[in-house]
Amino acid sequence: MQGKILVLAEQKDGEIDNITWELLGKGRAIADQWESPLAVLIVGAELSPLVETLKASSADLILVAQNASLKDYNAELYTSIIADAVKSYNPGLVLMGYTYKGMEAGPALSIRMGGTMVSHCTDLAVEDSKLVAVRSIFGGTLLSKIRIEGPSPHFVSFEKGSLPRENLPCGNAKIESITVDPEGWRLRSRIIETLKADKGDIDITKAKILVSVGRGVGGPDKIPMLRQLADALCGELSCSRPVADMGWLPFAHQVGISANTVAPDVYFACGISGASQHVTAMRDSTMIIAINKDPNAPIFRVADYGIVGDLFDVIPHLIEEAKSLARGR
């Protein structure tokens, strides 16, 4: 046995976020290899329905850190609570998402515990009794396989969607509450307010076809051409973060962890490299078609069909084909 394993659960809109099931699947596999117990930690307010859902997982133990004052997410407080839980559970391996929460908590925990952080992984395995991870580098155009040699506990974060979701075996996890006393912490940051972006009347999450624009289109003057394609397909335009940052399209069109999660029937990724923060939020689309001039662009990892080439060579023909498809229907 190389130490216990702990998964940090995440929630979204009052439900267990899918990353949790992915992490539990990986955690279970390594726990079985190590013959170690697997625990999952959930932090927040009003957790009973979520704990009920987690009971169906393969975890041996559910650690519940619940307090009404945790309703509004406060990174500093969350990190401190997780750190205390990690200290007392004393795992050898902690698995989390490469999500906002994982990016904040992971490095902080690894330094506080004197452990080792390895982030942005797509896979993890045990080889010769050491942990070996695969992670994206250089804009995702390369992947590296690395062996973790630093001190334990090991903290590993995963790109959401890169691990298979666990098939729910009927678990019989024990439940253990963790005492949370927010008064006891001397916080060095205070939340003033939490705001939600105003989306206006555009809702790209409802579109059946999305023509998504990346930085590779080169400039705002190219947007009309892509709009023609979207219109011919009776679809909607969406985009990556730089395109919204630069104001080529409004924020309401942005796909990614900082904006919208989409799963249309068809997603055209035009000049989008396929960064994990983008891909996470569109990889559940029924069909993904990527057009990119770089054959190593990571978008091809999730695409069903790919065209390697200059998008301006292909788009005019796509518009023509889409128009005749529309006429034929």
Ligand X SMILES: Cc1cc2nc3c(=O)[nH]c(=O)nc-3n(C[C@H](O)[C@H](O)[C@H](O)COP(=O)(O)OP(=O)(O)OC[C@H]3O[C@@H](n4cnc5c(N)ncnc54)[C@H](O)[C@@H]3O)c2cc1C
Applying the rule CB under 8 A, the residues between 259 and 278 that interact with another protein are 259-261, 265-266
Q: Which is nearer to ligand X, 116 or 258 (CB)?
A: 258
Figure out which of the listed residues 52, 176, 203, 310 binds ligand X, where binding follows CB under 6 A.
310
Cα 17 from Cα 100, distance rounded (Å): 13
Binding marks (x or -) toward another protein, 83..122, rule CB under 8 A? Answer: ---------------xxx--xx-xxx-xxx---xxxxx-x
107 part of the interface to ligand X, by CB under 6 A = no
Taking CA atoms, 301 is separated from 29, 266, 295, in Å, by: 24, 16, 10
First-to-final CA distance of the chain: 62
Omega of the bond leading into 153 within 30 degrees of 0 (cis) = yes
CB of 87 to ligand X, least distance (A): 27
HEC letters along 74-138: CHHHHHHHHHHHHHHHCEEEEEEECCHHHHHHHHHHHHHCCCEEEEEEEEEEEECCEEEEEEEEH
311 part of the interface to ligand X, by CB under 6 A = yes
Q: Which stretch binds ligand X (CB under 6 A): 39-47, 63-71, 113-121, 249-257?
A: 249-257
Q: Which stretch binds ligand X (CB under 6 A): 13-21, 33-41, 221-229, 290-298?
A: 290-298
Is residue 114 left, alpha or beta, with left meaning phi > 0 and alpha meaning psi from -120 to 50?
Answer: left
Figure out which of the listed residues 118, 257, 303, 319 binds ligand X, where binding follows CB under 6 A.
257
Query: What residues from 180 to 199 belong to the interface with another protein (CB under 8 A)?
Result: 188-197, 199
292 part of the interface to ligand X, by CB under 6 A = yes
Q: Which is nearer to ligand X, 228 or 258 (CB)?
A: 258
214 part of the interface to ligand X, by CB under 6 A = yes
The helix (H) or strand (E) run that includes residue 39 is: strand 38-44
Figure out which of the listed residues 112, 165, 199, 215 binds ligand X, where binding follows CB under 6 A.
215
Q: Which is nearer to another protein, 66 or 110 (CB)?
A: 110
80 part of the interface to ligand X, by CB under 6 A = no
Cα 150 from Cα 263, distance rounded (Å): 39
142 part of the interface to another protein, by CB under 8 A = yes
Cα 288 from Cα 209, distance rounded (Å): 10
Figure out which of the listed residues 36, 74, 80, 277 binds ligand X, where binding follows CB under 6 A.
277
